Structure 1
């Protein structure tokens, strides 16, 4: 929980209309954050998440942004600062997998879009957030959490190697940025979900993938979106004041 005597933290969450992003938004709202939530489509679902967060006491700014458009990505942090006056946290959650299938069948155009959304947009957002937060630039410090995947280390053969590559790049962003910007008050960490029951699998062409993979998970079930949100809340909290460069893996034992 946040200290009621301090200004409320202001956290940007990308891809917050459903799945893990929505679960993170609702958890942070309950813990006293005001929120900037981005979504690409399905405005009705994004609005429903915003209403639930508002009911928990959060002030919420909804931003429609296709993060495959890097100009749109570049507008997110300035819009948040204009609305709230400051940003204390960024959660780079938005991501796409591409179609599930063999590596040789992955269209290059699809992979290019995947890297724009999963890697280049987080770079754009992280640069803007750090420029605002860094104490050597007049900021008050802050915290960035990158939502990666267990695929970053498994490589996801026969499934989605380009997606795994993009998440490995996101892990490298955490490692490098945490070291470069730790001295100026910005902590950067990763949360790496394992197979989680969200719509991302349907978008990749295999809606039953979480249950299909369950026998190979030590806990014999996929994760649920809300089970990922607590780690993000921790990393954004004062309890994690000495935690930077970490990767919290939430994968049922995998």
Structure 2
């Protein structure tokens, strides 16, 4: 029996993909978004279905309100929404702040901050008891950059993730009495291709020795933390950020 519908934004790769696979294995009907890699999205749906689960891929840019509304409308067609994983996000090529254009800043904040906030808004309209919902959980994706600052590389990205931390705290407290829990995970160095998309494909190898555990994390380890926060096992946890960073 299905546990209900879970939306995962940016679900076709990395932490998002691992979350889709784990959520489907645990009985959720997963609706996930992707931006451009249709082949990866189709492959993920096939993998979920081969394992006996249910997943639906929706081409949707989290930086577009219209796309986000369409994503939630599609999810509505598959049952009752019980959770949202705000995973979609971008980094950019390394740069100092005095090299960054307004256009680049706007893209970073539109996708990593505004997109997550709009998605959370839509989830609340469906899950909050204030709106006639039955409750649910939201998990935002922060980053260790929010506490480290990422000087000389991604200060604007770190600032965006700092905003996610504060948003998680405020929204979690705002809707705590409405049946909706809001938490975040703060991944450290994780073995995904986001580093290559940010222009530093060997970033994990460069920084591995700075991690107290002396190894990078996996997307699956992040997915385990996310699913714990979505599940009733964390029923007394809200407005919290769980760091998944090997001690860094």
Instruction: Give the TM-score range, shorter chain.
Output: over 0.9
Q: Which residue pairs with 2:158 in the alignment? A: 164
Which residue of 3, 6, 9 corresponds with 1:14?
9
RMSD between aligned alpha carbons? 1.2
SS of residue paired to 1:115: helix
Residue 137 (1) aligns with residue 131 (2): yes
Is 1:29–1:53's contact at 8 Å kept on the other side of the alignment? Answer: yes
Counterpart residue number, 1:58: 53
> Is it true that 1:106 corresponds to 2:100 in the alignment?
yes
TM-score normalised by length of structure 2: 0.97
Distance 1:80 1:65 in 2: 12
Distance in 2, matches of 1:216 and 1:106, equals 27
Residue 68 of structure 1 deviates from its aligned partner by 2.2
Q: CA deviation at 1:222?
A: 1.5
Question: Which runs of no fewer than 5 residues in structure 2 stay unpaired?
Answer: none
User: Which stretch shifts more, 88-97 or 218-227?
Assistant: 218-227
Quote how far apart the aligned CAs of 1:106 are.
2.3
**Scaled by the length of structure 1, what TM-score is found?**
0.94
CA contact (8 A) 2:168 2:239 kept: yes
Do the aligned partners of residues 101 and 222 (structure 1) sit closer, same or farther apart at CA in structure 2, a change above 3 Å counting? farther
Determine the C-alpha separation between the residues in 2 that align with 1:215 and 1:104: 29
Cα distance in 2 between the residues matched to 1:208 and 1:47: 28
Q: Which residue of 1 aligns with 2:228?
A: 234
Moved more, 217-226 or 231-240: 217-226
Distance 1:202 1:104 in 2: 23
2:90 maps to which residue?
96
What pairs with 1:1-254 in structure 2 (closer than 5 Å)?
4=1, 7-81=2-76, 83-254=77-248
Instruction: Give CA deviations for 1:99-145 in whole Å, capped at 9, x if unaligned.
Output: 12322222321221111110111111100100110112110000000
- Tell me the distance in 1 between the aligned counterparts of 2:119 and 2:128: 14
Inter-partner Cα distance in structure 2 for 1:33 and 1:113:
32
Contact 1:34 1:60 in 2 (8 A): yes
Could you say what secondary structure the match of 2:85 adopts? Answer: strand
Moved over 6 A (4+): none
Report how far residue 207 of structure 1 moved: 0.5
Shift of 1:9: 2.2
Q: Does the CA-based 8 Å contact 1:98-1:111 persist in structure 2?
A: no
Shift of 1:154: 1.1
Could you tell me which runs of 5 or more consecutive residues in structure 1 were left unpaired when the two chains were aligned: none
